[in-house]
């Protein structure tokens, strides 16, 4: 597929994008658009500091590994709420997330971001696709993200993709934290992701959840903040699979292997309930 790029002077306001998302409730097709969006994004120091605080990254000269996801969130929203995109944004399920850091994320005030979708595939519960985000500076590619999203109820030809779990390495407890009732609202404020399933029990029940659940990207960010002393600043790939949602409020425990250029980690809750599993390695 040859992408047709649209270069934007600015990203649309999130308020309008959420209104557009709320009005789209039906599947309108079974083909992904061949368009992508690109624009320049500025690093907002105040927003960055708030994100560091909420996700536990503390200070530092480098951007947190997950922060470009937040910077590009509105651009992603604009693509996924466009009239050519066939699936309703509300109701999409974030199954997995892979981030690659190609060079250290330091000395950045402005970056060039691009987003597109690809790789539509059959799934036992519907159809999945990849939302691909890339960040560059004047020297070239810096950071890349592939988020696999599920749209339930879409029927495609072909065999569903089988989820293969990697063998688990020995792990030790690295951190634990309490995700309170306000966890989703705090993360929404610093990320812009105001999906109702994360904000309150009342709004989550409208979408079939008995309680609000933590954002998957908050769980990934919080885990990588706890592991930041073990991870290299570049030539790094971190892949996670989101398993059972973290219901709010609850305490979770991060387990991880003891370091090195490659390793594994898991986020578990009460009764060893697996919420997220992941691994880090050099970029292939």
CA distances from 123 to 80, 120, 156 (A): 20, 10, 8
15-49 pLDDT, tens digit per residue, is: 999 999 999 889 999 999 999 999 999 999 999 99
Which residues form the domain of 130?
A: 1-163
Same domain, 72 and 157: yes
Q: What's the pTM value of the predicted model, to 2 decimals?
A: 0.95
* Residue 165: per-residue pLDDT: 65
Domain match, 206 and 127 both: no
Confidence of residue 166 (pLDDT cuts 50, 70, 90): low
Rounded Cα–Cα distance for residues 229 and 239 (Å):
18
159 and 262 fall within a common domain: no
Where does a domain end: 133, 163, 193?
Answer: 163
Give the end of a domain, one of 110, 142, 163.
Answer: 163
Based on the fold, state whether residues 147 and 276 are members of the same structural domain: no
Preceding amide of 200 cis, omega within 30: no
User: 10 pLDDT exceeds 70?
Assistant: yes
Which SS3 state, helix, strand or coil, does residue 43 take?
coil
Residue ending a domain, among 144, 163, 182, is 163
**Strand intervals (E) in the chain:** 4-7, 35-42, 93-101, 110-123, 126-137, 140-152, 172-179, 236-242, 250-256, 263-268, 274-281
Same domain? 103 vs 132: yes
Say which residue the tokens 């190609």 belong to: 102
Indicate the average pLDDT of the chain: 95
Are 86 and 226 members of one domain? no
**How many structural domains comprise the chain?**
2
Based on the fold, state whether residues 140 and 27 are members of the same structural domain: yes
Same domain, 55 and 157: yes
The CATH number covering residue 207 comes to 3.10.129.10
Residues 169 and 58 in one domain: no
For residues 197 and 138, membership in a common domain is answered with no
159 & 169 share domain:
no
Same domain, 5 and 86: yes
Range of lowest pLDDT (33-42, 163-172, 196-205): 163-172
């Amino acid at each position: 597929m040859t992408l047709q790029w649209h270069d934007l002077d600015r990203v649309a306001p999130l308020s309008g994008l959420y209104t557009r998302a709320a009005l789209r409730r039906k599947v309108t097709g079974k083909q992904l658009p061949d368009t992508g969006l690109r624009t320049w994004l500025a690093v907002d120091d105040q927003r960055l500091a708030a994100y560091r605080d909420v996700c536990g990254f503390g200070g530092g000269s480098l951007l947190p590994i997950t922060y470009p996801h937040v910077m590009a969130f509105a651009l992603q929203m604009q693509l996924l709420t466009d009239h050519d995109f066939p699936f309703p944004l509300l109701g999409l399920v974030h199954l997995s997330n892979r981030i690659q850091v190609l060079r250290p994320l330091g000395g950045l005030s402005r970056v060039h971001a691009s987003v597109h979708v690809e790789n539509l595939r059959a799934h036992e519960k519907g159809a999945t696709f990849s939302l691909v985000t890339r960040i560059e500076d004047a020297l070239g590619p810096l950071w890349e993200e592939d988020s696999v999203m599920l749209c339930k109820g879409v029927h495609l030809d072909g065999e569903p993709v089988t989820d293969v779990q990697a063998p688990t390495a020995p792990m030790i407890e690295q951190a634990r934290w309490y995700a309170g009732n306000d966890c989703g609202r705090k993360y929404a404020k610093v990320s812009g992701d105001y999906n109702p399933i994360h904000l309150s029990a009342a709004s989550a029940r409208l979408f079939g959840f008995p309680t609000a659940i933590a954002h998957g990207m908050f769980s990934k960010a919080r885990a990588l903040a706890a592991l930041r002393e073990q991870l290299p600043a570049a030539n790094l790939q971190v892949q996670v699979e989101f398993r059972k949602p973290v219901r709010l409020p609850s305490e979770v425990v991060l387990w991880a292997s003891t370091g090195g250029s490659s390793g594994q980690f898991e986020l578990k809750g009460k009764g060893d309930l697996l919420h997220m599993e992941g691994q880090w390695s050099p970029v292939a």
